Structure 1
Amino acid sequence: MSTSSPDVTSSVSGSLPRQRRTYSIGELARMFEVTPRTIRFYEQEGLLAPERRGQTRVYHEKDRVRLKLTLRGKRLGFSLAEIREVIEMYDAMPDGNARQLKRLLEILGEKRANMERQLEDIRLMQRELDDVESRAREVLDRLARQGA
């Protein structure tokens, strides 16, 4: 789609009006290497709100940024509710404020603590696997010596 429509506000120099970049669902899907179905799902969950022109979805820069934040949040292990909360905080106050930043830091701290617990669980499992493997090798060596 890649259409541009003039913005009502003019550039700082006062010359030509700025152009607003829009995206089709296919363009965003290719840009972020996701399926259109994924984008529609995030729209259904209230994370994206494209403009509608008939049956066509028209995504603006705000939607592109929200999709980028959503995908980054998912990679970091955020739930959709957590992603929505962070995005809505920033929508409410575009310049950010102390309350928003404190909440974001709380969420990040919770994620970090959870990852540390998961890492410790993985280390414990590795030690248990090492122990089982070592015992199995000892038994196998003993059986091999007995059979020889």
Structure 2
Amino acid sequence: MSNLATKILDAPDIAGPIVKEGGEEKLLAISEMSDLFDVTLRTLRFYEEKGLLNPVRKGARRYYRPHDVSRMKVILQAKKIGLTLGEIRRVIAIVEGNLPRIEQLRQLRKICADQEGILREHQAQVDEQITEMQGVVASLDTLIDTGGDAA
């Protein structure tokens, strides 16, 4: 496999690219889209309501284009790393924007690096809570072992 092919395969979903519209497109029914991403119909409707997905309407039915499939990959990875809906909109705007690809990647990297910092802060807080909880559990175990008498 060429280096270019390897780089394409290793690119995170959040980096896009989001498929552009055009030509004959295979449309997916909402149930097919739901199955493809293992999400509920409600989730797809929610993302549509928030303006993140824009399925084609045929009567009361929703159909998703390759563009929506690409967007959904970006949305789900961004959600998985903890980005807010506003940040997900920003990511989509970057990926679908007209900036040179290298600038898109730099901006996405900054968003992800900032999120990593937030997650590391959360991790430190959780580690502290776990340590505190271990102390509480140990104290309770001691009280249980002594029949409930406080020392």
Regarding TM over 0.5, the answer is yes
Report the equivalent of 2:88.
83
Quote the Cα distance in structure 1 between the aligned partners of 2:59 and 2:143. 71
Greater share of strand: 1
Residue 94 of structure 1, CA deviation: 8.2
Partner SS state of residue 20, structure 1: coil
Equivalent of 1:23 in 17, 22, 28: 28
Distance verdict in 2 for CA 1:51–1:42, change over 3 Å: same
1:129 aligned onto 2:133: yes
What is the CA distance between 1:79 and its match in structure 2? 0.6
- 1:59 is aligned to 64
Q: Which has the larger radius of gyration?
A: 1
Q: 1:95 to 1:138 in 2, by over 3 A?
A: same
Query: Is 1:116 the equivalent of 2:136?
Result: no
Structure 1: stretches of 5+ with no match in the other structure: 1-5, 8-18
* Structure 1 position 96, deviation (Å): 2.4
In 2: Cα distance, 1:66 partner to 1:140 partner: 54
Structure 1 length as normaliser, TM-score? 0.75
Following superposition, the deviation at residue 86 of structure 1 comes to 0.7
1:33 to 28, 32, 38: 38
State the shift of 1:129 in Å. Answer: 1.5
The alignment covers a number of residue pairs equal to 128
Superposed displacement of residue 25, structure 1: 0.9
1:103 matched residue in structure 2: 107
- 2:43 is equivalent to residue 43 of structure 1: no
